[in-house]
């Protein structure tokens, strides 16, 4: 940036000009200083600090955790008043910790680890004969101790790690560098948290033994190992559409949902249409697969190869040369549970039947087209079940 100023003898400058010159000088000094401030001094990170603060970025390696620890103490006072910050999100150190963890997983075969069970926790020794790996072990442990001390979660998708970070206030962690790695003592006076510590130590030993194969796994919270292995049940439509309750899973059923199921799937006329079985499953999902039942409106439109699945028994038997319609019982139960059932009138007539041949609890629409368009306009989410 080039700035040209006209030289004026200072005694001849009026008071107003003196003021103008002073403002220009201050502005120029700020323009020069701002880029230097933005670069930061040695050891400072480029981004915001832990919990979104504006102090050190804490992106350094070993030895930087102590600086972060001092800054976090000031942050704790603010959190006491305003509540936790970004405790469950990525912080400035997250990417660095992730890189170190990936490095250790890559070289897991060169790491040795022993675990000694204590009444209230564990004592572990993790080492490597390779100096670079040993340094990474030390860096990883130093920052993990910081994260435990200041509740800075990581690997929160893993149930065990998420639960461990919920109880950091009850964990005491001490580490001691050795020539080839780190000795760690991790304990808790709370028996439940002590179990979490031991389970975590076992998981870390799995990382050392199996590397990425173990890192791809979820690790269960002690006592909840079989939580998802429950017996399939049929909360609304008995005998059809079995579901397993998953109260902790993502995307729980939401009350107020409107679902339009577009059925064109045909099949063996002597057997239950698989698409109708699927609709029963949808009903049961909202009734009992989530943490709590959720109200849902479901509308089903039959056309294409599925058109004649809704005929009454006499019309169906005549058309397919079978004794009865195997779909009627489940269709009636779906109707009784509140599911709206429609059949395309155009398809029905083109296949040699008419609205009088349809089961009494199924409504004939002018067409599948108009039914689908109207229901979507009414806020129904579209879900096709074709061949």
Q: Rounded to an integer, what distance in angstroms lies between the CA atom of residue 272 and that of residue 254?
A: 29
- CA nearest neighbour of 67 among 32, 92, 43: 43
**3-class DSSP state for residue 48?**
coil
Q: What is the pLDDT of residue 66?
A: 60
Q: What is the pLDDT of residue 351?
A: 97
Average pLDDT over residues 235-247: 94
Whether 21 maps to a domain, the answer reads: no
Strand 363-365 versus strand 340-344 pairing type:
parallel
Stated pTM of the model: 0.64
Q: What is the pLDDT of residue 33?
A: 40
Average pLDDT over residues 11-20: 42
27-41, 103-117, 207-221: segment of lowest average pLDDT: 27-41
Q: What is the CATH number of the domain that holds 264?
A: 3.40.1260.10
Q: What is 281-329 written as a DSSP string?
A: HHHHHHHHTSSS---EEEEEEE-GGGGGGGB-HHHHHHHHTSSS-TTHH
Q: What is the pLDDT of residue 387?
A: 66
Q: What is the pLDDT of residue 26?
A: 38
Whether 8 maps to a domain, the answer reads: no
Boundary of a domain, candidates 164, 184, 215: 215
- Does 352 share its domain with 280? yes
Burial (CB < 10 A; 0-12, 13-18, 19+), residue 202, is middle
Average pLDDT over residues 360-369: 98
Q: Is the pLDDT of residue 247 over 80?
A: yes
Q: What is 79-148 written as a DSSP string?
A: HHHH---STTS--TTHHHHHHHHHHHHHTGGG-EEEEEEETTEEEEEEE-SSHHHHHHHHHHHHHHHHHH
Q: Is the pLDDT of residue 277 over 80?
A: yes
Whether 24 maps to a domain, the answer reads: no
Model confidence at 86, pLDDT cuts 50, 70, 90, reads very low
Q: What is the pLDDT of residue 2?
A: 44
Whether 133 maps to a domain, the answer reads: yes
Whether 59 maps to a domain, the answer reads: no
Boundary of a domain, candidates 183, 215, 247: 215
Q: Each residue of 203-218: pLDDT tens digit? A: 999 999 999 999 999 9
Tokens 């000009």 locate to: 17
Boundary of a domain, candidates 150, 181, 215: 215
Q: What is 246-290 written as a DSSP string?
A: -TTSSS---TTEEEEEEE-----TTS--HHHHHHHHHHHHHHHTS
Average per-residue pLDDT for the chain = 83
Average pLDDT over residues 62-70: 64
Q: Are 98 and 137 in contact (CB under 8 A)?
A: no
Q: Is the pLDDT of residue 228 over 90?
A: no
Q: What is the pLDDT of residue 67?
A: 61
Q: Each residue of 145-160: pLDDT tens digit? A: 999 999 999 898 899 9
Q: Which residue has the higher pLDDT, 174 or 22?
A: 174
- Does 262 share its domain with 209? no
Domains: count for the chain = 2
Highest mean pLDDT pick, 30-44, 224-238, 313-327: 313-327
Q: Are 232 and 284 in contact (CB under 8 A)?
A: no
Helices (H) and strands (E) in the chain, counts: 12, 9
Q: Is the pLDDT of residue 83 over 70?
A: no
Model confidence at 227, pLDDT cuts 50, 70, 90, reads low
- Does 210 share its domain with 293? no
Q: What is the pLDDT of residue 223?
A: 86
Q: Which residue has the higher pLDDT, 75 or 281?
A: 281
Which token pair is 8? 């004026």
Whether 311 maps to a domain, the answer reads: yes
Q: What is the pLDDT of residue 225?
A: 72
Q: Is the pLDDT of residue 32 over 50?
A: no
The domain in which residue 366 lies consists of 257-385
**3-class DSSP state for residue 243?**
strand
| % of the chain exceeding 90 in pLDDT | 71
- CA nearest neighbour of 231 among 220, 241, 243: 243
Which token pair is 320? 């397919």
Q: Which residues contact 253 (CB under 8 A, 6 or more apart)?
A: 285, 286, 289, 290, 293, 294, 296
- Does 211 share its domain with 292? no
Q: What is the pLDDT of residue 9?
A: 43
39-48, 99-108, 373-382: segment of lowest average pLDDT: 39-48
Q: What is the pLDDT of residue 68?
A: 63
- Does 343 share its domain with 283? yes
């Amino acid at each position: 940036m080039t700035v040209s100023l006209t030289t004026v003898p200072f005694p001849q400058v009026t008071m107003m000009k003196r003021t103008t010159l002073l403002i220009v000088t201050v502005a120029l000094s700020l323009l020069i200083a701002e880029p230097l401030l933005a670069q930061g001094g040695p050891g400072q990170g480029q981004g915001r600090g832990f919990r979104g603060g504006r102090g050190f970025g804490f992106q350094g390696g070993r030895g930087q955790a102590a600086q972060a620890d001092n800054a976090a103490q000031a942050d704790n006072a603010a959190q006491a008043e305003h509540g936790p910050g970004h405790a469950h999100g990525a912080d400035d150190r997250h990417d660095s910790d992730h890189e170190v963890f990936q490095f250790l997983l890559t070289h897991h075969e060169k790491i040795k680890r022993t675990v000694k069970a204590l009444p209230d926790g564990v004592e572990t020794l993790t080492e490597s004969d390779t100096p670079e790996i040993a340094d990474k072990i030390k860096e990883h442990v130093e920052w993990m101790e910081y994260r435990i001390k200041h509740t800075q979660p990581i690997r929160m998708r893993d149930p065990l790690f998420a639960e461990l970070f919920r109880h950091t206030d009850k964990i005491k962690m001490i580490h001691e560098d050795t020539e080839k790695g780190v000795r760690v003592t991790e304990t808790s006076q709370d028996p439940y948290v002590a179990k979490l510590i031991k389970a975590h130590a076992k998981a870390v030993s799995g990382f050392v033994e199996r590397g990425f194969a173990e890192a791809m796994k979820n690790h269960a919270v002690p006592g909840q190992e079989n939580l998802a292995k429950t017996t399939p049940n049929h909360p609304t439509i008995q005998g059809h559409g079995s579901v397993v309750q998953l109260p902790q899973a993502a995307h729980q059923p939401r009350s107020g949902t409107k679902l339009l199921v577009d059925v064109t799937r045909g099949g063996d006329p002597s057997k239950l249409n698989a698409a109708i079985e699927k609709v029963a499953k949808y009903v049961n999902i909202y009734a009992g697969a989530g943490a709590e039942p959720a109200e849902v409106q479901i509308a089903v439109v039959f056309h294409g190869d599925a058109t004649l699945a809704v005929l009454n028994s006499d019309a169906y038997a005549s058309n397919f040369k079978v004794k009865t319609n195997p779909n009627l019982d489940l269709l009636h139960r779906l109707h009784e549970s509140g599911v709206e059932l429609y059949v395309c009138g155009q398809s029905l007539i083109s296949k040699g039947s008419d609205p009088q041949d349809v089961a009494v609890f199924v409504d004939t629409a002018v067409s599948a087209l108009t039914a689908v368009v109207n229901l979507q306009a009414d806020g129904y989410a579209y879900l096709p079940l074709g061949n």
